[in-house]
A and B are shown apart, each in its own frame.
Chain A
Amino acid sequence: MRWLLGNELHPGGEATTRRALELIGLRPGERLLDVASGTGTSAMLAAREYGCLVAGVDYGEGAVADAQRAADGAGLCDRVGFIAGDAEALPFEDGQFDAVLCECSLCTFQDKPRAMSEIRRVLRPNGRLALSDVVVDRPRLAPKLDNALATVACIGEALSRDGYEHLLAGAGLRPTGIESRDEDAAALAGRIHDRLRGARVLGLDRMAGSPVAIEEAIELVRAARRAIAQGALGYAIFAAAR
Chain B
Amino acid sequence: MTRSAPGPEVVAPRAASDAATPASRSLGHTQSICPCCGAVLDAELLVRDTRVILSRRCPDHGEFEAVVYGDAERYLEIQRFNKPGEHPRERQTETLDGCPRDCGICPEHAQHTCLGIIEVNTACNLDCPICFADSGTGPQEHGYSLSLEQVESMLDSFVRAEGEPESVQLSGGEPSIHPQILDMLAAAKRRDIPLVMLNTNGIRLARDPRFAPALAELGVHVYLQFDGLEEATQVAIRGRSLTEEKLRALDRCVAAGVSVSLAAAVERGVNEHEVGAIVRFGIEHPAVTGVFFQPVTHSGRFLADSDPLDKLTNSDVIEAIAQQLPEWFRADDFVPVPCCSPSCRSATFALYDGEDVVPLTRLVDVELYLDYVTNRAIPDLDVREALEGLWSAKAAGGSEPVAERLECVACATAIPAELRDVAASGFMVVVQDFQDPYTLDIGKLRKCCVSEITPDGRLIPFCAYNSVGYREQVRRELSRQA
Take A194-B363, A215-B1 as given contacts and tell me if A199 and B7 are in contact as well, using a CB distance cutoff of 8 Å. no
Take A194-B363, A195-B362, A195-B363 as given contacts and tell me if A200 and B356 are in contact as well, using a CB distance cutoff of 8 Å. yes
Are B358 and A201 interface neighbours, CB within 8 A?
yes
A91 at the interface (CB under 8 A from B): no
Are A3 and B414 interface neighbours, CB within 8 A?
yes
A73 at the interface (CB under 8 A from B): no
Stretch from A31-39, A147-155, A202-210 at the B interface:
A202-210
Which residues from B are CB-within-8-Å of A201? 351-353, 356-358, 425
- Residue ID in chain A nearest B5 by CB atoms: A222
Query: A198 vs B6: C-alpha distance in the bound complex, in angstroms?
Result: 12
A61 at the interface (CB under 8 A from B): no
Name the one of B4, B357, B418, B420 contacting A218, with C-beta atoms under 8 angstroms: B4
A6 at the interface (CB under 8 A from B): yes
Name the one of A197, A203, A222 contacting B419, with C-beta atoms under 8 angstroms: A203
A121 at the interface (CB under 8 A from B): no
- Residue ID in chain A nearest B352 by CB atoms: A201
Q: Return A193 CB to nearest CB of chain B, in Å.
A: 8
Which residues from A are CB-within-8-Å of B365? 6-7
Are B362 and A194 interface neighbours, CB within 8 A?
yes
Take A197-B356, A215-B1, A222-B7 as given contacts and tell me if A202 and B419 are in contact as well, using a CB distance cutoff of 8 Å. yes
Q: Provide the main secondary structure of the chain A interface.
A: helix
Take A197-B358, A201-B356, A202-B415 as given contacts and tell me if A222 and B351 are in contact as well, using a CB distance cutoff of 8 Å. no
Are A199 and B415 interface neighbours, CB within 8 A?
yes
Q: Return A219 CB to nearest CB of chain B, in Å.
A: 6
Are B4 and A202 interface neighbours, CB within 8 A?
no
Take A3-B414, A204-B416 as given contacts and tell me if A198 and B358 are in contact as well, using a CB distance cutoff of 8 Å. yes
Name the one of B1, B362, B422 contacting A197, with C-beta atoms under 8 angstroms: B362
Take A203-B418, A203-B419 as given contacts and tell me if A198 and B363 are in contact as well, using a CB distance cutoff of 8 Å. yes
Which B316-361 residues have a C-beta within 8 angstroms of A? 351-353, 356-358
Which B402-454 residues have a C-beta within 8 angstroms of A? 410, 413-416, 418-420, 422, 425
- Residue ID in chain A nearest B1 by CB atoms: A215
Query: A207 vs B414: C-alpha distance in the bound complex, in angstroms?
Result: 12
Which residues from A are CB-within-8-Å of B356? 197, 200-201
Which A160-209 residues have a C-beta within 8 angstroms of B? 191, 193-195, 197-204, 207-208
A79 at the interface (CB under 8 A from B): no
Q: Return A179 CB to nearest CB of chain B, in Å.
A: 25
Which residues from B are CB-within-8-Å of A226? 7
Name the one of B3, B351, B416, B422 contacting A207, with C-beta atoms under 8 angstroms: B416
A128 at the interface (CB under 8 A from B): no
Q: Return B258 CB to nearest CB of chain A, in Å.
A: 25
Are A199 and B416 interface neighbours, CB within 8 A?
yes
Take A198-B358, A203-B353 as given contacts and tell me if A222 and B416 are in contact as well, using a CB distance cutoff of 8 Å. no
Are A198 and B362 interface neighbours, CB within 8 A?
yes
Q: What is the total of A-B residue contacts with beta carbons within 8 Å?
A: 61
- Residue ID in chain A nearest B410 by CB atoms: A202
Are A202 and B351 interface neighbours, CB within 8 A?
yes
Query: A195 vs B420: C-alpha distance in the bound complex, in angstroms?
Result: 15
Which residues from A are CB-within-8-Å of B351? 198, 201-202
Are B416 and A198 interface neighbours, CB within 8 A?
no
Which B1-29 residues have a C-beta within 8 angstroms of A? 1, 3-4, 6-7
Take A202-B425, A215-B1 as given contacts and tell me if A197 and B6 are in contact as well, using a CB distance cutoff of 8 Å. yes
Q: Return A210 CB to nearest CB of chain B, in Å.
A: 10
Q: Return B237 CB to nearest CB of chain A, in Å.
A: 33
Query: A226 vs B1: C-alpha distance in the bound complex, in angstroms?
Result: 20
Q: Return A82 CB to nearest CB of chain B, in Å.
A: 22
- Residue ID in chain A nearest B355 by CB atoms: A201
Q: Return A56 CB to nearest CB of chain B, in Å.
A: 22
- Residue ID in chain A nearest B421 by CB atoms: A203
Take A201-B352, A201-B356, A202-B425 as given contacts and tell me if A219 and B420 are in contact as well, using a CB distance cutoff of 8 Å. no
Q: Return A145 CB to nearest CB of chain B, in Å.
A: 15
Query: A216 vs B1: C-alpha distance in the bound complex, in angstroms?
Result: 9
- Residue ID in chain A nearest B363 by CB atoms: A198
Name the one of A3, A7, A203, A208 contacting B413, with C-beta atoms under 8 angstroms: A3
Which residues from A are CB-within-8-Å of B362? 191, 194-195, 197-198
Take A215-B1, A222-B7 as given contacts and tell me if A200 and B418 are in contact as well, using a CB distance cutoff of 8 Å. no
A225 at the interface (CB under 8 A from B): yes
Encoded as 1 (CB less than 8 Å from any B CB) or 0, chain A from 1 to 39 comes to 011001100000000000000000000000000000000
23 A–B pairs (Cβ distance < 8 Å), ordered by A: A2-B414, A3-B413, A194-B363, A197-B6, A197-B356, A198-B351, A199-B416, A200-B356, A201-B352, A201-B353, A201-B356, A201-B357, A201-B358, A202-B410, A202-B415, A203-B353, A203-B419, A203-B420, A204-B419, A215-B3, A215-B4, A218-B4, A222-B7
Known: A2-B414, A200-B353, A201-B351. 11 other contacts (CB 8 A): A191-B362, A197-B362, A198-B415, A202-B351, A202-B415, A203-B420, A204-B416, A204-B419, A215-B1, A222-B4, A225-B7
The 9 closest A-B pairs by CB, nearest first: A203-B420, A194-B362, A198-B363, A198-B358, A201-B353, A201-B351, A215-B1, A197-B358, A201-B358
